[in-house]
Amino acid sequence: MTAGAFVTRFAPSPTGPLHLGHAYSAILAHDMARAAGGHFLLRMEDTDLERCKPVHEAAIADDLTWLGLAWDGPIHHQRPKIPQYNQRLEGLAAKGLLYPCSCTRTDIRAALSAPQEGVAHTVYPGTCRGRTMGSRLPGDALRLDLDAALGQLAPTGLQFTETGPAHAGTHHINPEQAKRLIGDVVLSRKGEDIVAYFLASAFDDADQGITHVIRGDDLFDFTPIQVILQQLFALPTPTYHHHRLIRDDHGKRLAKRDDARALSKYRAEGASPADIRRLVNL
């Protein structure tokens, strides 16, 4: 890649139809790449063997093509890389940075003495911390031992640059803040030998040479988790751009199950790609 290159991606999970929120994200990433003379890549985050379906993937590719968003190169798939992600998990385990966890959501809620404020996800109270990998049972998840991980990183903590409107600037997160905001996140899901999104996505951004991650604001709070993984594996940290979310009439963020906002619905009703751009204010 040449210096100053701009490489971004649209990374949907093919678990359902694209809605207006996805269209906004894909159009924005595409347009920013084209404006910078860079590359726009398409990645299917298809590690969930049950929910990700070829039929959804085909529909996503068809919707993007209809929108006039041509991606560069072949579609990148995560599923064939599952053995590689697991190898990387083993690398973390070998460094003593993972432990098995059998806690259910109810266990976690019960272990928390008070509701947590100002955090995007429940910060794990550490019940299973201290368990060895040798004690892993078939149904266990694997968690990152954040304290041990931070101990292997520079004491200055984490840093990343954000260009999205809501959080523009350079973000510094010191180890204490990381522990309060992130905690011991799950890197391999319970009952499945499948890495969680954080790890697969962090690795693929590096593997695909992504310089700019453009995605919804709902993922902003997870960025430090990916920055930790990048630092642990000496991967580059891209510039992040988290964009506003497209909401329904009640102000709720759109989800894949919101079929009413599916692009296919608008297409069936005769909308044009220009109408979609207008609907999302682009």
> Which residues have a Cβ under 8 Å from the Cβ of 258 and sit 6 or more positions away?
19, 248
Q: Which residues from 26-55 bind ligand GLU, rule CB under 6 A?
A: 45
For 154, list phi and psi in degrees, rounded to 5: -60, 140
**Burial class of residue 133 (count of CB atoms within 10 Å of its CB; 0-12, 13-18, 19+):** middle
Exposure string for 146-170, b = 16+ CB within 10 A, e = fewer: bebbbeeeeeebbebebebeeeeee
Residue whose CB is nearest to ligand GLU in the complex, by number:
215
Question: Which listed residue (6, 7, 12, 276) binds ligand GLU by CB under 6 A?
Answer: 12
Q: Which is nearer to ligand GLU, 24 or 99 (CB)?
A: 24
Task: Please identify which residue in 61, 133, 219, 271 interacts with ligand GLU, judged by CB under 6 A.
Answer: 219
Q: How far is the CB of 218 from ligand GLU (least distance, A)?
A: 8
Q: Tell me which DSSP letter residue 250 carries.
A: T
Count of residues of this chain found to bind ligand GLU when the rule CB under 6 A is applied? 7
Cβ 237 vs Cβ 160: under 8 Å? yes
230 binds ligand GLU (CB under 6 A): no
Task: Please list every residue from 143 through 202 that binds ligand GLU, using CB under 6 A.
Answer: 201
Q: Which residue in this structure is represented by tokens 């968003």?
A: 69
Tell me how far, at minimum, the Cβ of 41 lies from ligand GLU, in Å.
11
**Residue 66 or 222 with smaller CB distance to ligand GLU:** 222
Q: Contact positions toward ligand GLU, by CB under 6 A?
A: 11-13, 45, 201, 215, 219
